[in-house]
Structure 1
């Protein structure tokens, strides 16, 4: 497509207008909340800040649950080559790539995956957050072009790369005419991992930001009250002490009352600890409710069954399934570009629609019960489908090939033994 400089400038202005929101979302993930930034200091009093980062805790729990186990691929047509090539040509990617992608998707509501060939001509990817890029799409959600904005270390310039369906254009500190260079994919080499169409409005940040701020503010307030409480005032009645005697009194820890009518006692503040605890507990409970998470620190009955324990996870499981589906959409797009790359470099033709993407929740699996069910079904269930249900089997097709090879080796050994016996 022809690059429209005026359109690029409008898109860049829109990106800059939205960036402060995404910067704040990232700040909350790091624990730099508005409550901590704007906490009111009181002169000559305790001013401790007490951050409690529930947002990061919830995001990391969902990431761990959803992609704590490796994503696996199954060919619907039984083509072992396509699965093997996916594993082989993505082997150089970071083991944490999918978890990092989901973490950013949950932090901002969406994230981008940019594809390119590296210096060794390998198919590679870089995760881009809304703080670093923007995808301009049409009414049907098709990406028309992608803008990546970045800085280089020890360099004050702003660098912008624009990707369209054929080329990548490089700009510095503004948009000027650029010839561009071909990226070879034939379409904009970017996919979007998106929780929902609401994007940033469907995030943990949006749900609990106010509660997070209130909780940290209240907890900081009570912590400072306790600190100030230790510095209670000593009230003296019926006598006075000289200023020079104060230090000696502190050192020795005693005070002598000079008359029967005199007395010394602490002036302390009555703190309603029940009210404070109820307020904090209510705020904490609401955060768990809104995010569909469970508090693992809560005491449970010791005689709860496994089914009852699992039922507490149902809401979180359903939420994580939606996260997995959102990531699966991005992975499908990833496979499209991988297969374009393989067609160009290896002359291999694959169809991404032949691939089933499988997620295994990162929770204890009852493989014994699953194996019993598979055995009872017998020939009503294919071997590949049965193996795919077991949590410790990453590639069912490879496992079937191994079984076949072992079976052939055993047959050969038996034949040799029979021949030797004759």
Structure 2
């Protein structure tokens, strides 16, 4: 979540007081434990791993992890950001060329993953240091960067801070680099202690983005991760599966109960010899009133399975990410039925898309500002941003729909429905070029003039 400050605190937001920078860093660090927890769950480091049964109990202590957190994130990210974002506008080609050079497709996928895990994603913009510098974007771990905005309803950016530890040859922390990004400058500090007074300015560099080159993306209005509200259910599922295996082990290690005054030995050595003989020969001699049986715990697997399925279904239901491995998921393969089964995921995707597009528009504006400085004027006001769902495509069904709608809907609109067409505009150009070639070929075959206007006598 962005840090909020009053714009009237200082007059020049290109010269940030050190005390303000320190207070914002301290506020940001309070959010880091939550982000650490979310990353741990995605990486499979769940609460069950810290469970202790006590070494003196002798009971099994299995720690099973069913990583629903990773599953939810991977499916949600693949569904929403698996296909590249498409941009359409009159002057957007310049920016698209820059995006291509910076491999923005891979960057968007990385950013979408941060959004799904942490609930926020923050990207930093910079220009390359070669002979022909171009703007580029990089996704920074939200635990190392934050954005400060004003307290108006628009939440306009005031400045951004990227800080990270500096290490020596033995990898020990010897200080911190603190980079402050204002609307005009990048101010770099070398710091021994983030909470200390020794903020020494190392450099002050103009960046030409004509705005704070840090943009914060939201996953949703609450800025929560896709699996954050399901952590308690994930813990319950891990606990149930771990205890289920514990019960199985205790069943194997059952206690032999002897009745009728039976003794296997007067001391530990004699008892041990008797047990070894029983294991070797598999024979136990008992008196007439004697009895031997295993003392075991009765397991009700049916009840445990019902509980397991209920918890698993709740995880997927509340996360709005379906269980794609469920044998009943694709039992009815009709298009309408599949849409109903994906309705929750689609609602999740719509919400994620709305906030993601807002961040993409900020990125377009900042990139256009840099290109304008280089004399390449770009207008991004009319750019249309389209995010396509990453689903298996039924091209045969789509082709039949296109054939039915031909003449009622424009050809370019119909072409956009095809999954194997990345750029509908270019595809239209190729289609028109082929039609021109075919027309000239037919004109030549009938002896009609080529490259001239053909006048047909209707009479």
- Per the normalisation by structure 2, the TM-score is 0.82
- Give the Å deviation of 1:168: 1.1
Instruction: Report how many aligned residue pairs link the two structures.
Output: 415
* 1:69 to 2:83 alignment: yes
Q: Does structure 2 conserve the Cα–Cα contact (< 8 Å) formed by 1:360 and 1:391? A: no
CA distance, structure 2, for counterparts of residue 282 and residue 40 of structure 1? 26
Match of 2:233 in 1: 211
After superposition, the Cα gap between the structure-2 partners of 1:412 and 1:88, relative to the gap in structure 1 and judged at 3 Å, is farther
| CA deviations over 1:366-421 (Å, ceiling 9, x no partner) | 34444444444445433322222222211111112222333444455566667799
Aligned to 1:24: 37
Q: Distance in 2 between matches of 1:12 and 1:332?
A: 27
Contact 2:125–2:135 (Cα < 8 Å) also in 1:
yes
Please state how far the C-alpha of 1:93 moved relative to its aligned partner: 1.5
Q: Deviations over 1:28-53 (max 9, x none)?
A: 11121223334544532211100111
Q: Which position in structure 2 is the counterpart of 1:122?
A: 134
How far did residue 84 of structure 1 move? 6.6
Look up the SS of the partner of 2:92 in the other structure. Answer: helix
The structure richer in helix per residue is 1
C-alpha distance 379-342 of structure 1, shift in aligned 2 (>3 A): farther
The alpha-carbon distance between structure 1 residues 401 and 344, as it changes in their structure 2 partners (threshold 3 A), is farther
SS across alignment from 1:354? coil
Q: In 1, distance between residues paired with 2:53 and 2:284?
A: 40
SS in 2 for 1:204: coil
Alpha-carbon distance between aligned partners in 2 of 1:357 and 1:421, rounded to the nearest angstrom: 44
- Select the residue among 111, 115, 127 that pairs with 2:121: 111
Deviation by residue 1:263-322 (Cα, 9 ceiling, x = unmatched): 322111112333322332222222122112222343438456332232111121121121
- Residue 183 of structure 1 corresponds to 207
- Structure 2: where are the runs of 5+ without partners? 1-13, 265-269, 451-459
Shift of 1:62: 0.7
Q: 1:247-268 deviations in whole A, cap 9, x for unaligned?
A: 6336526133153333322111
Alpha-carbon distance change, 303 to 48 in structure 1, aligned in 2, over 3 angstroms? closer
Post-superposition offset of 1:340: 2.2
Deviations 1:301-359 (A, max 9, x none): 845633223211112112112112222122212222222232233x2222222221112
Aligned to 1:137: 149
> Cα distance 1:367–1:88, how it changes in 2: closer, same or farther (>3 A)?
farther
Q: Counterpart of 1:249 in 2: which secondary structure? A: helix
Match of 1:278 among 306, 311, 317: 306
Unaligned runs of 5+ in 1: none
| In 1: Cα distance, 2:312 partner to 2:449 partner | 76
* Distance in 1 (alpha carbons) for counterparts of 2:281 and 2:24: 70
Shift in CA distance, 411/163, structure 1 to aligned 2, threshold 3 Å: same
2:372 alignment counterpart: 343
Larger radius of gyration: 2
Q: Secondary structure at the match of 1:171?
A: strand
Whole-angstrom distance in 2 between the partners of 1:377 and 1:274 = 53
Greater CA deviation, 236-245 or 101-110?
236-245
RMSD: 2.7
Q: 1:90–1:123: 8 Å Cα contact kept in structure 2?
A: no
Give the match's secondary structure for 1:187.
Answer: coil
In structure 2, the CA distance between the partners of 1:155 and 1:382, relative to structure 1 (3 Å rule), is: farther
Which residue pairs with 1:312 in the alignment? 341
Q: Secondary structure at the match of 1:60?
A: helix
From 199, 206, 221, the counterpart of 1:197? 221
1:145-172 Cα distance to aligned partner (Å, 9 max, x none): 1111223562412222111111112223
Partners of 1:253 and 1:421 in 2: CA distance: 105
* 2:48 and 2:64 in contact (8 A); partners too: no
Q: 1: distance between equivalents of 2:181 and 2:354?
A: 26
2:385 aligned counterpart, secondary structure: strand
- How far apart, CA to CA, are the structure 2 residues paired with 1:304 and 1:385? 26
Distance in 2 (alpha carbons) for counterparts of 1:214 and 1:270? 22
Contact 1:36/1:217 (<8 A) preserved: no
1:56 matches 2:70? yes
